[in-house]
Amino acid sequence: MTTQSRTKRRSPRAVEAAIQRALVKWIPAEVHVIATLNEDSRHKLTMGVDVGCPDLLLFYRGRSVLHVFFLELKTKTGSMRYTQKEWAEGYLANLQSINTSYATAYGLEEAQGYVEAWLEQLKS
């Protein structure tokens, strides 16, 4: 048996989960993080899951204002599902305000860049 045949390819969901774990561990303590349930959860309807809602909600208290960042995580080659695109379009149409932001990040480095840019903007 070759090394390649013994090595299992990780599913995109497993890779996204690994990205999310690494990002949550990396995020500064001053940012409160909430992870949403996966839309494939068998309990989604009974638990109030907003299908398509981004993977992470980040909260940062600025000068007397609470800022929220909705962050959808994907692998570098991933793509958004229809429900995720629909949620993002709804955000842009209805939720976008001076105190909220939204991004879809493809990979850990891009996600970290978005978080860093968001915090820099809030602190300036």
DSSP strands (E only) in 1-124: 32-35, 56-61, 66-74, 100-106
**Rounded to the nearest 5°, which phi and psi values hold at 77?**
-110, 10
What was the pLDDT predicted at 5? 47
Is this structure's pTM higher than 0.85?
no
Q: Is residue 25's pLDDT more than 80?
A: yes
Kindly report, residue by residue over 30-63, the tens digit of the pLDDT: 999 999 876 565 555 566 667 788 999 999 998 8
Q: What are the chain's domains? A: 32-123 (3.40.1350.10)
CA torsion sign for 112, 82, 99, 44 is negative
Mean pLDDT of the chain: 86
**Each residue of 65-84: pLDDT tens digit?**
999 999 999 999 999 999 89
